Amino acid sequence: MKIPLATSRVLTYLWSVALTAFMLFGAELTLAQDAPVTDEAAVALEAAQEEADAAPAEEAAAEAEEEPTLDSGDTAWMLTATVLVLFMTIPGLALFYGGMVRSKNILSTLMQCFAITGLMTVLWTVYGYSLAFDTTGMEAGVLNFKSFVGGFDRFMLSGLTIDSLSGTIPEALFITFQMTFAIITPALIVGAFAERMKFSALLVFMALWFTVCYAPMVHMVWSGDGALMWDWGVLDFAGGTVVHINAGIAGLVAALVIGKRQGYGQTIMAPHNLTLSMIGAAMLWVGWFGFNAGSAVAADTSAGMAMLVTQICTGTAALAWMFGEWISHGKPSLLGIISGAVAGLVAITPAAGTVGPAGALVIGILAGAICFIASTKVKRALGYDDSLDVFGVHAVGGIVGAILTGVFAFPSLGGVWEPTEGATIASQVWVQIKSVLFTIVYTGVLSYVLLKIVDVIIGLRVTPEQEEEGLDLALHDERGYNL
């Protein structure tokens, strides 16, 4: 998670740390600051220390920085946030998608989400965390192979002990929190090829995609100094590029490679149970507070603001989609309003933690309106069968959010970000656009290659007979509804 440079907060902490140290002559300290110490902070620290003019303070502060201690408040919140993010996939996303497919395919959709949850848990443990967060050989401003992907130094979570800390929380907790992100991202793609992909091919593709597209993206954006997009200075608080554009583009490519469902555009493929979809969308909304506010990796002011803007943007986008539909089709729909809510959640994901309430309102309106157009008009005009609009909601919403983050993060526009030195709205927007383009090309090309490989080895698609029968019976020997 990228932690914004809340310089004033850092200063306050360092001041209090230095003063306390001075008064207590090096008594035990707790430094409730998890952010990597920045140059600015280091300068501020020096200033504070000069003023304090006390050797013990310097020693104590330095010691406290080297060994951050566990903060029980941060830990309690992150334990909760982790549970919330897992809840987003199972059952939230599973139900959201499950309600939108035809009744003969509901179990296959739920099954795919559930199986991905298990699969990603194993892969993240064995090598995913290492590929994503191993930072050996990385140096700020230096572009090398390690800027793109981590190594195997943390293979099988080696080095993890009961006392390992990541900032102010246990490393075991940080690993689990990040694991829930590694679970939901591939699960999002499921919506693009729903109702027609072979289950075995899905498992192989997801394992490959996680390895080649997801873990490196996490590394490039979040692993710290020396990582490609981190060094570019991209603002991606909770995963606009890493999670949503990544999954959305992979979804579009998958929908194109696998092809349309039989009878697409001719036969009725209406959602079979929008009640389930509404329940799922509501679970996503609730769980997303863990996703966004949890990405502060602390129970702090940043988490609080992330929570507020998440709620504002989601409500706004839900209404924007609803009104868009009302105006263009004459009636507002439940599927429309819940789709708008998800679009809002997606768009605020990169922006949470840096934009303010006004920015969230604008992002919400634009995300709701643009995703509505993308998922209805554009999709129909282009004719691709992205069954549940993974591209129209996640990629488009992610792109809208990622770019607008570069605008509304600035304090002059109500943002709560402390701009890095020399950053202007134009320069930051360019960084955001560059990161978006990189993500699109990176994941677009590699997803295509992986899909083709799996297609040759296993075959991506079920037989026409199986598709007609429904995947529940054809692939799993079960039926969703035995009425």
Comparison of 68 and 271: residue with beta carbon closer to another protein: 271
Measured distance CA(466)–CA(20) in Å, rounded: 70
**Interacting residue with another protein among 9, 260, 379, 476 (CB under 8 A):** 379
Beta strand pairing call for 165-166 and 169-170: antiparallel
Beta bridge partners of 166: 169
Least distance CB 400 / another protein (angstroms): 18
The token pair at 483 is 């009425």
Using the rule CB under 8 A, give the single segment among 145-153, 179-187, 331-339, 452-460 that binds another protein: 331-339
**Interacting residue with another protein among 335, 423, 425, 429 (CB under 8 A):** 335
| Chain centroid, CA 7 distance in Å | 25
User: Is the Cα dihedral 391, 224, 204, 157 positive or negative?
Assistant: negative
Position 444 contacts another protein (CB under 8 A): no
Position 269 contacts another protein (CB under 8 A): yes
Q: Which of 387, 385, 480 is nearest to 104 (CA)?
A: 480
Q: Which one-letter DSSP state was computed for residue 162?
A: T
Using the rule CB under 8 A, give the single segment among 44-52, 114-122, 252-260, 328-336 that binds another protein: 328-336
Residues contacting another protein: total by CB under 8 A: 17
Position 105 contacts another protein (CB under 8 A): no
Least distance CB 393 / another protein (angstroms): 10
425-457 and 215-222 helices, crossing angle to 10°: 170
Position 333 contacts another protein (CB under 8 A): yes
Position 389 contacts another protein (CB under 8 A): yes
Q: Are the C-beta atoms of residues 69 and 162 closer than 8 Å to each other? A: no
Comparison of 71 and 325: residue with beta carbon closer to another protein: 325
Comparison of 269 and 365: residue with beta carbon closer to another protein: 269
| Residue whose tokens read 């005009």 | 381
**Interacting residue with another protein among 59, 76, 329, 463 (CB under 8 A):** 329
Position 231 contacts another protein (CB under 8 A): no
Comparison of 158 and 262: residue with beta carbon closer to another protein: 262
Using the rule CB under 8 A, give the single segment among 149-157, 205-213, 216-224, 332-340 that binds another protein: 332-340
Q: Are the C-beta atoms of residues 156 and 352 closer than 8 Å to each other? A: no
Q: Which one-letter DSSP state was computed for residue 294?
A: G
Least distance CB 48 / another protein (angstroms): 56
Least distance CB 368 / another protein (angstroms): 13
Measured distance CA(76)–CA(298) in Å, rounded: 9
Q: Are the C-beta atoms of residues 470 and 279 closer than 8 Å to each other? A: no
Comparison of 203 and 334: residue with beta carbon closer to another protein: 334
Comparison of 47 and 269: residue with beta carbon closer to another protein: 269
**Interacting residue with another protein among 53, 67, 162, 268 (CB under 8 A):** 268
Q: What angle do CA 140, 143, 149 make, to 5 degrees?
A: 95
Comparison of 15 and 326: residue with beta carbon closer to another protein: 326
**Interacting residue with another protein among 68, 150, 251, 336 (CB under 8 A):** 336
Comparison of 312 and 396: residue with beta carbon closer to another protein: 396
Q: Which one-letter DSSP state was computed for residue 240?
A: I
Measured distance CA(381)–CA(126) in Å, rounded: 43
What's the CA dihedral at 46, 51, 57, 60 to 10 degrees? -20
Query: Count of CB atoms within 10 A of residue 62's CB?
Result: 12
**Interacting residue with another protein among 162, 331, 477, 482 (CB under 8 A):** 331
Provide the residue type at 276 as one letter.
L
Position 339 contacts another protein (CB under 8 A): yes
Comparison of 379 and 476: residue with beta carbon closer to another protein: 379
Whether cis (ω within 30° of 0) applies to the bond prior to 91 is: yes
Q: What is the contact surface with another protein in residues (CB under 8 A)? A: 268-271, 329, 331, 333, 335-336, 339, 375-377, 379-380, 389, 392
